Structure 1
Amino acid sequence: MDKYIFPAIFEVGEIKGYCVTFPDLPGCITEGNTLEEALQMAREALELHLYGMEEDEDEIPSPTPPERVDVPEKGFVAIVEARMPLIRDRMAKKAVKKTVTLPKWLNDLAEKEKVNFSQLLQTAIKEKLHIRENH
């Protein structure tokens, strides 16, 4: 699915800010010092949580209608939208660190010639997999 909409519970903090939870998604929790920050953090938390569920092939539950969400005394419900194509694209382009082992003499020569190891490895992998475009 390309877009999800889930209700979130915003609870006013004891000192300041807001704690945000998603009743349909246990473990999806965030916070913000201001309402604006809490809304932004809620969207990001929802997107990343759902992305992880998609990657793990977990079943994503149907959202509870907002009027059926139990709201604490110092809280309120807000609807949060996650647009998944944006997060999927961002995560696909995220750099991952790999450790490689080379003979010292080869490493020394490559460094002397100012070889960009990351670029060279990416190029070699693309050639090996017959990939002609950037993904």
Structure 2
Amino acid sequence: MRKMTYLAVFEPAGNGAYSVYFPNVLGCVSYGKNFQEAQAMAQEALELHIYGMEKDGDTLPIETFSDIQTNAGDIVYAITIYPDFVKNQMDNRRVKTNCTIPYTLKRKAEMQGINFSQVLETSLKAMLQ
């Protein structure tokens, strides 16, 4: 499984909170009420940012692990993600969709305890193979 690591800069934001950005992943930012939450939120932000870039066909940034310009009090911390795991989760998450069927058909199916989501999923899989 692919593993990617990028450096994140945690900037103190007051009251123990931190704002986070990735110098080599432009536009990827996050925030947390404390350092632990900021770490978790930074990882999630990076995962979703890289997922979106891959989905859009963008070239992924390369982490150089070179010197990063920071201010006093900033913390530089490595964040590791597993893009294939995230892609699998995102591509297979359940989403709600709306469909329209005749009322009598709906009523008969409900009386027989039919699971509409299961029937639709099974039918779509069969049709798309």
TM-score, length basis structure 2: 0.89
The total of aligned residue pairs comes to: 129
1:129 shift after superposition? 2.3
Partner Cα distance (2:27, 2:109) in 1: 46
**Correspondence for 2:42:** 42
- The alignment partner of 1:13 has SS state of strand
Deviates more, 1:119-128 or 1:108-117: 108-117
Partner Cα distance (1:12, 1:91) in 2: 31
Equivalent runs, 1:35-114 vs 2, <5 Å: 35-67=35-67, 69-114=68-113
Question: Is 1:7–1:66's contact at 8 Å kept on the other side of the alignment?
Answer: no
**Correspondence for 2:125:** 126
Partner Cα distance (2:31, 2:92) in 1: 26
Give the counterpart letter for 1:41 in structure 2: M
Deviates more, 1:75-84 or 1:58-67: 58-67
- Structure 1 residues 78, 15: CA separation in 2 closer, same or farther (over 3 Å shift)? same
Specify every segment of 5 or more residues in structure 1 that has no aligned partner in the other structure, as ranges. 131-135
**Correspondence for 2:3:** 3
**RMSD in angstroms over aligned alpha carbons?**
1.7
Partner Cα distance (2:101, 2:26) in 1: 44
Instruction: Say yes or no: does 1:28 pair with 2:37.
Output: no
Partner Cα distance (2:66, 2:109) in 1: 59
TM-score, length basis structure 1: 0.85
Percent identity of paired positions between Structure 1 and Structure 2? 36
- The alignment partner of 2:119 has SS state of helix
Partner Cα distance (1:66, 1:38) in 2: 22
Partner Cα distance (2:12, 2:46) in 1: 19
Shift >3 Å, 4+ stretches: none
Instruction: Say yes or no: does 1:115 pair with 2:109.
Output: no
